[in-house]
Structure 1
Amino acid sequence: MTDISAGASIVMASCADERHLPEDALDPSEQKYWVTDGCYPAELVIKLARPSKVSKLRTSTRGVRKFSLHVCADERLDAGGEFKPVFEVELADKPADAAQVESHKVSVKRALFLKIRVESGWGDFSSVHAVSVF
């Protein structure tokens, strides 16, 4: 299984903190991360380097209660591209310093954009430490 996150970029985020930029969610080190601003839902839109088949999503988060994945195959979002829901999941509550590492098998034939939507958190703030797409 090939990690297709390489070459991906963040094209939209519903919130940003100058110390924890949206782009930090794609940093594989997990030392950098994107943090929500306390208003839910919070969204992160990732553009893959090329349209791709997606079979698995791996995330490392903290404080996330519920998140969902949506995909769009259209080349241009501003020309009527539409996101389609793939899944929604509720994560277990863990101590603030414990990572919520999740792997989800999916069957997406073609995607160019992925929307990670943090629907709710276990507290006021939550963070996305890493996103890998296979």
Structure 2
Amino acid sequence: MTLTESNAFVSMASSADQDYPASNILDSSEKVFWMTTGLYPQEFIITFKEPIEFRHIRFVTSNVKRFVMFTTSNQEPKNFETIFEKTLPNNENNLQITDYTLDRSIDVRHFKCVILAGYDSFSSVHSLKFDAENSRMGKKY
């Protein structure tokens, strides 16, 4: 099941380009993407209408140098906890694939990613996938 089918939506993005909107992060295809509009940091928040539980993340980007990910199970997008931070090697404009497994499953209502630095003025997020169990419906995202 895709993030769009899971009733997830991008509730905040720090930059907007009508040709590369933040909603592209939710698309399962890596051929569409959200592009930042220069300057760092850049961030986005994905909100789930119903909380999910997940343990594994797959994050596909381009020109991202350093990022940090946060989650919260609160009803409102506040009091985030850091779950993962990474510096990526320069991949010369090719896709950067980051797979990360947490040491335990966590409940999430809001997921936030902050791109702290890039290898270029612009970076892109091609996809974000969770290996998740919906705590109420038992579906994969």
Shift of 1:123: 1.0
Corresponding residue for residue 101 of structure 1: 97
Corresponding residue for residue 42 of structure 1: 42
Corresponding residue for residue 90 of structure 1: 87
Number of residue pairs matched by the alignment: 128
The answer to whether 1:51 aligns with 2:65 is no
Corresponding residue for residue 23 of structure 2: 23
After superposition, the C-alpha distances for 1:90-114 in whole angstroms (9 at most, x for unaligned) are 1110121x11011111234211100
Shift of 1:4: 6.8
Structure 2 stretches of 5 or more lacking a match? 132-141
Shift of 1:48: 2.1
Q: Distance in 2 between matches of 1:59 and 1:110?
A: 19
Corresponding residue for residue 66 of structure 2: 66
Identity percentage of aligned residues: 27
After TM superposition, which residue ranges in structure 1, 4 or more long, deviate above 3 angstroms? none
Q: Distance in 1 between matches of 2:105 and 2:120?
A: 31
Q: Quick check: 1:73–1:110 contact (8 Å CA) kept in 2?
A: yes
Q: Distance in 1 between matches of 2:84 and 2:76?
A: 23
Structure 1 stretches of 5 or more lacking a match? none
